[in-house]
Chain A
Amino acid sequence: EAGVTQFPSHSVIEKGQTVTLRCDPISGHDNLYWYRRVMGKEIKFLLHFVKESKQDESGMPNNRFLAERTGGTYSTLKVQPAELEDSGVYFCASSQADGGTEQYFGPGTRLTVT
């Protein structure tokens, strides 16, 4: 069974540019989460999808971040325009609908904004 995959693994962009991160969850997992770790800080929750619906987006830092999950399969996280403080590692995780909170994480996307 394939795990959670994320693309790209690394991205370097300039301040003011746009970047889109993609996450493919484990097949059949209705729950999809985005987290991020910025330099020297703890891993922080961003948002949670149940199928295509946003269940909890309380962790989204501001309106420069837009997450979508069309069709309830893969998800994208767009940052527009990127700022220096957006640099960090963005993780995606998925879990089954009725499987408690055992979340399976992807390898992350390392975003560097220069």
Chain B
Amino acid sequence: DAKTTQPPSMDCAEGRAANLPCNHSTISGNEYVYWYRQIHSQGPQYIIHGLKNNETNEMASLIITEDRKSSTLILPHATLRDTAVYYCIVIYYNQGGKLIFGQGTELSVKP
């Protein structure tokens, strides 16, 4: 079973920031937070991951609370192409392990 909780759906206006929350209250000290997304009819796509520090890459930013029980994925300037299902996954790093997908958040970016 997934160890995360996400809202089932969210809307965002094109050009605005999309902030996707995730609760992972049972996360252990060695588990990382990973975000993937699945655009319709495509395979899942890796976005970003982090342990306890905030992370940023060319796609998004990841903000993890100090107690690590929740995190937020931020798409700074959402476009229509960011419409997808976003998955928050917690997993041990560098064990090459399986990903456990929950239901994710269906983000709709509207013009």
Q: How far is the CA of A97 from the CA of B2 in the complex (A)?
A: 24
Cβ–Cβ < 8 Å partners of B99 in chain A: 33, 35, 43, 45, 93, 101, 103
Quick one: which of A4, A45, A101, A105 contacts B96, CB cutoff 8 A?
Answer: A101
Judged by a CB distance under 8 angstroms, whether A59 is at the interface is yes
Cβ–Cβ < 8 Å partners of A58 in chain B: 98
Q: How far is the CA of A54 from the CA of B32 in the complex (A)?
A: 24
A interface, size bucket: 20 to 34
Residue of B whose beta carbon sits closest to that of A6: B43
Q: How far is the CA of A91 from the CA of B98 in the complex (A)?
A: 13
Q: How far is the CA of A53 from the CA of B109 in the complex (A)?
A: 42
Would you call B102 and A42 a contact (CB within 8 A)? yes
A31-B96, A48-B96, A98-B94 given as contacts; is B46 within 8 A of A103 (CB)?
yes
A57 to chain B, nearest CB (A): 10
- Beta-carbon contacts under 8 Å, A82-114 to B: 91, 93, 95, 97-98, 100-108
Judged by a CB distance under 8 angstroms, whether B100 is at the interface is yes
Give 1 or 0 for each of B27-61: 1 = CB within 8 Å of chain A CB. 00000101000100011111001000000000000
Supplied contacts A102-B34, A103-B99, A108-B42, 9 more A-B pairs, CB within 8 Å: A43-B101, A45-B100, A48-B96, A91-B44, A100-B93, A101-B49, A101-B94, A101-B95, A108-B43
